[in-house]
Amino acid sequence: MTLVSALIIPGIIIRTKSLCSGRKGPALFQPLFDAGVLLRKGVVLSPVTTLVFRIAPSVSLASVLTAVLLVPMGRQDALLSFSADFVYFTYILALGRFFMILAALDTGSSFEGMGANREALYSLLVEPVFLLLLGTYAMFTGYTSFSEIFSHFYFSNNYAFIAGILGFYLLIQIAMVENSRLPVDDPKTHLELTMVHEVMILDYSGPDLAIIHFSTWIKFALYGALVSNSLVPSGWPVALQTGLFLLLQLSFGIIIGLLESFRARNKMTKNPQFILTLTAIALLVFTIMLLSSYMSSK
Amino acid sequence: MKDTLIISDTSLPVSLAEIPVTAYALFRQRVLTAMADENMHCVSYFAFPDDGEYRFICILADDQTHQLCLMGHRDQGPFLSLTADNPAFHVFEREIYERTGILPEEHPWLKPLRFSVDRQNSHKGMDHYPFFNIAGDELHEVGVGPVHAGIIEPGHFRFICHGEKVLHLEIQLGYQHRGIERMMESSRGGLSHALLAESIAGDSVIGHASTHAAVIETLSGSRLSASLSIERAVALELERIAMHTGDSAALCADVAYQLGQVVYESLRTIIINTTQRWCGNRFGKGLVRPHGTWFPLNEDLGRIICNNLDAVMERLLPMVDRLFTLPSVVSRFDGTGAVSRSQMLAVGAVGMAARSAGLKRDIRWSHPSMPWKETAFQPVVLETGDVMARAMLRKIETEQSVSLIRHWIDQIKEQAGAIEQPDYQRTLLPDALAVQLTEGWRGEICHVAITDKHGKIMCYKIIDPSFHNWMALALAVRMQEISDFPVCNKSFNLSYCGHDL
């Protein structure tokens, strides 16, 4: 299901942004058609690059596909589930990113070096937010795998409700940072000097570029799935759950599109501060949950 | 003979014989003394061949007395550069060296201006191009261009950075050099001159075309009718509104503020379509011609222009309020790319870039031509010199231009005289010089034409405001983040082809 929504979310975001700017916008599946064109094209390799540059897109795709296996759909169990798998999830994605950063450095371009530097910094900073949030959920539910966390996650009391709202906000912001969208990065810009993710993949062409696009979309849908899962009620039949899940994924795309339409991007130096604020909010969630369990144990 | 010729009415031609020729030492001393006054700035300094030697003419503008000072010397060999004492002359002397090969000694940075190699020493290829260097393990260089990812003109930008921080930016231009001045001198004149003038910079068509037309009219000794001067002024202000709006859109795009971008873009379309309705070209090509016009501004047109401007302002004002109160935009603009007043003064910046940093330089106020003389025009001057100031200046100047246009269009209704048609055949005065200044949207545009003894143009010098201002951009990004360069660049929006000619 995550894969299905991965195919449609990019189109939704673009369409939402177009509508917000008073335009019609491209077809919903235009990004897919573009990727199809890329797949049919040849690859141009820079003579200074090495093996790292060539395997990085595949490693990146493999890492997100593995991560997909860990994420449940609604309250249905994930394909792969073991205790503390959210830590595995974080680092399998980090592995893919690590290779992309190496590949960017591999080209020897000054732009890509800058982009790799920024990407490394922001993902380093956003990691504690994610782990803190999931750690809190794990503590709250008493389980440590995605499937179990989500199947036992419910809004039992006011504390959990507050934590749920904050968690929802955090997951959306993490998704924005991890996938290089506003306000940290601007996927639309054509200016190499301001790019983060886009500048790292400047040297890729053809199928390699298509693979990178696929993995970016899937990664985005992955975070969308995490957001949706926390909202799907567990009592419903599977078909309804699936429908609601897809609907939530759609609204995730629309929310991102809206968020991006009506604000400007951060100054580059403000980004670390912005991400650290997210960490602070994650700490707040943790404190609330701690209070909640303290109160209920009384 | 006096060593300085002062003219207060640029609509009269100057006889070449009246322009002083002094010994270089005296010239240098006079120029530097005059430039010590901050109301003075150099509008043009150039050399042209004369009897096997080169004759140099320097034109300084005095903002306080509203006059121009002309000084000159005649030289063949190297001389001590003015730049050594006043950095504002660095581009002028580089241009002179590139054209004539006369070496300005002790020039701190005598690198090519419009060519990729040293023209006087062409076996020194690109490999020997004197790029600025800083040594250090922690520093890295980033080179951008001349081919860019976006739809902008070619230019090479070389940053020396410490991490994300820019220590130094070197701008290398010349990729757009077409030899416009030489074509002006070699073409037969008339219509081809007017067409060339329109092509100097695509974003300042009216600015350059009306400056050129004024030069030709001055040299043929004719005076402009009131209705024609109003027509050109309205066109110039329309161009200013269109460019300021378009630039505001681009500023929004660079900070990824989509709403601002699309609103400003759509408003710019209305404005340039108004120009198209007027003369058939969105950028005003064909609108301004010497001695007359094919597209007289009548009452009907005036009404259309006013109605369209009303429609634009109705949507522009709420957008402006939103833009300058949106925290994410304000945090990007505020304090970014600040250039101080003293820096602007040192590099000889002009136009809206200078006004954004507290330097009151506006030809419409300091050397006004006809319709501005009667409006008691006061330029907008802001203090901070950052991207915010340049964005804000665009907003205020747009409002100002709209009210000017409304004022002038009201006057048209009262006077409906005979329509003059363009005339390309009039003879020009021999051995004369005409200098004209116009405040285009970017800053002062200066055209100087000199005729030979047959009344043919033998020297034509064009100074686009970008020529003065590129150095200000290089200063603006110092100690800024490299990712803020695009928004700084867009806030100046300097012309590549206007500089390269």
Residues B493 and B487: their CA atoms lie apart, in Å, by 10
Residue A39, domain member (yes or no): no
Does residue B20 surpass a pLDDT of 70?
A: yes
Residues in contact with B17: Cβ distance below 8 Å, sequence separation at least 6, in sequence order? B431
When CB atoms are compared, the residue of A191, A262, A269 closest to B259 is A262
User: Which range is least confidently modeled, B91-105, B115-129, B139-153, B361-375?
Assistant: B115-129
Contacts of B326 in chain A (CB under 8 A): 263-264
Distance from CA of B246 to the nearest CA of A (A): 16
Residue A261, domain member (yes or no): yes
Q: pLDDT tens-digit profile of B299-340?
A: 888 889 999 999 999 999 999 999 999 888 898 888 898 999
Residue A40, domain member (yes or no): no
Question: What local confidence, expressed as pLDDT, does residue A100 receive?
Answer: 92
Question: What local confidence, expressed as pLDDT, does residue B448 receive?
Answer: 92
Q: Which residue, among B289, B295, B297, has the nearest Cα to B425 in the 3D structure?
A: B289
Domain range for A129: 2-12+49-297
| Residues B272-287, mean pLDDT to the nearest whole number | 90
CA distances for B171 relative to B340, B341, B358, B490, angstroms: 20, 21, 25, 15
Question: What local confidence, expressed as pLDDT, does residue B394 receive?
Answer: 92
- CATH superfamily for domain B199-465: Cytochrome-c3 Hydrogenase, chain B (1.10.645.10)
Residues in contact with B210: Cβ distance below 8 Å, sequence separation at least 6, in sequence order? B232, B235, B236, B288, B438
How crowded is residue A52: how many other Cβ atoms within 10 Å of its Cβ? 14
Cα torsion A157, A159, A162, A168 to 10°: value is -80
What pLDDT band is residue B4 in, cutting at 50, 70 and 90?
confident
Question: What local confidence, expressed as pLDDT, does residue B24 receive?
Answer: 87
Does residue B123 surpass a pLDDT of 90?
A: no
Strand pairing category for B67-75 and B5-7: antiparallel
Q: What is the ipTM of this complex?
A: 0.80
List of E strands, B153-272: 156-162, 165-172
Residues B139 and B148: their CA atoms lie apart, in Å, by 23
CA distances for A257 relative to A33, A97, A251, A262, B323, angstroms: 20, 24, 10, 9, 19
Q: pLDDT tens-digit profile of A191-222?
A: 778 888 888 888 898 899 999 988 888 888 88
Q: Per the structure, how many domains does chain A have?
A: 1
Mutation pick from A265, A266, A268, A277 vs chain B, by most beta carbons of B within 10 Å, is A265
Counting as low any pLDDT under 50, the low residues of chain A are none
Chain B residues with CB under 8 Å of a chain A CB are: 140-144, 149-150, 163-164, 252, 254-262, 266, 326, 328-329, 331-332, 336, 481-486
A77 touches chain B (CB under 8 A): no
Taking all residues of chain A, what is their mean pLDDT, rounded to a whole number? 84
Burial class (CB in 10 A: 0-12, 13-18, 19+), B422: middle
What pLDDT band is residue B416 in, cutting at 50, 70 and 90?
low
Distance from CA of B205 to the nearest CA of A (A): 27
A191 touches chain B (CB under 8 A): yes
Residues B216 and B230: their CA atoms lie apart, in Å, by 18
Contacts of B260 in chain A (CB under 8 A): 264
Contacts of B164 in chain A (CB under 8 A): 114, 268-269
Q: pLDDT tens-digit profile of B138-150?
A: 888 888 878 887 7
- What tokens does A188 get? 């639309």
Question: What local confidence, expressed as pLDDT, does residue A74 receive?
Answer: 66
DSSP, collapsed to helix, strand or coil, labels residue B76 as coil
DSSP, collapsed to helix, strand or coil, labels residue B310 as helix
Contacts of B258 in chain A (CB under 8 A): 17, 20-21, 260-262
Question: What local confidence, expressed as pLDDT, does residue B208 receive?
Answer: 93
Residue A93, domain member (yes or no): yes
pTM of the model: 0.86
Does residue B241 surpass a pLDDT of 80?
A: yes
| Residues B71-89, mean pLDDT to the nearest whole number | 86
Where on the phi/psi map is residue B434: left (φ > 0), alpha (ψ -120 to 50), or beta?
beta
When CB atoms are compared, the residue of B258, B261, B482 closest to A193 is B482
SS3 of chain A: CHHHHHHHHHHHHHHHHHHHCCCCCCCCCHHHHHHHHHHCCCCCCCCCCCHHHHHHHHHHHHHHHHHHHHCCECCECCCCCCCCHHHHHHHHHHHHHHHHHHHHHHCCCHHHHHHHHHHHHHHHHHHHHHHHHHHHHHHHHCCCCHHHHHHCCCCCCHHHHHHHHHHHHHHHHHHHHHCCCCCCCCCCCCCHHHCCHHHHCCCCCHHHHHHHHHHHHHHHHHHHHHHHHCCCCCCCCHHHHHHHHHHHHHHHHHHHHHHHHCCCCCCCCHHHHHHHHHHHHHHHHHHHHHHHHHHHHC
The ranges assigned to domains in chain B are 5-113, 199-465
Q: pLDDT tens-digit profile of B417-445?
A: 667 888 888 888 888 889 999 999 999 99
Using alpha carbons only, give the angle A34, A37, A38 rounded to the nearest 5 degrees: 90
Query: Which fold would CATH assign to domain B5-113?
Result: Beta Polymerase; domain 2 (3.30.460)
A40 touches chain B (CB under 8 A): no
Does residue B361 surpass a pLDDT of 70?
A: yes
Distance from CA of A194 to the nearest CA of B (A): 4
Question: What local confidence, expressed as pLDDT, does residue A61 receive?
Answer: 93
Q: Do B258 and A114 touch (CB under 8 A)?
A: no
Cis peptide before B154 (omega within 30 of 0): no
Contacts of B257 in chain A (CB under 8 A): 263-265
Does residue B1 surpass a pLDDT of 60?
A: no
Q: Do A193 and B142 touch (CB under 8 A)?
A: yes
Question: What local confidence, expressed as pLDDT, does residue B114 receive?
Answer: 85
Q: Do A22 and B262 touch (CB under 8 A)?
A: yes
Mutation pick from B158, B328, B479 vs chain A, by most beta carbons of A within 10 Å, is B328
What pLDDT band is residue B238 in, cutting at 50, 70 and 90?
very high
Distance from CA of B485 to the nearest CA of A (A): 8
What pLDDT band is residue B414 in, cutting at 50, 70 and 90?
low
Residue A99, domain member (yes or no): yes
Contacts of A23 in chain B (CB under 8 A): 262
Higher pLDDT, B176 or A190: B176
Q: Which residue, among B275, B214, B265, has the nearest Cα to B244 in the 3D structure?
A: B265
Question: What local confidence, expressed as pLDDT, does residue B392 receive?
Answer: 92
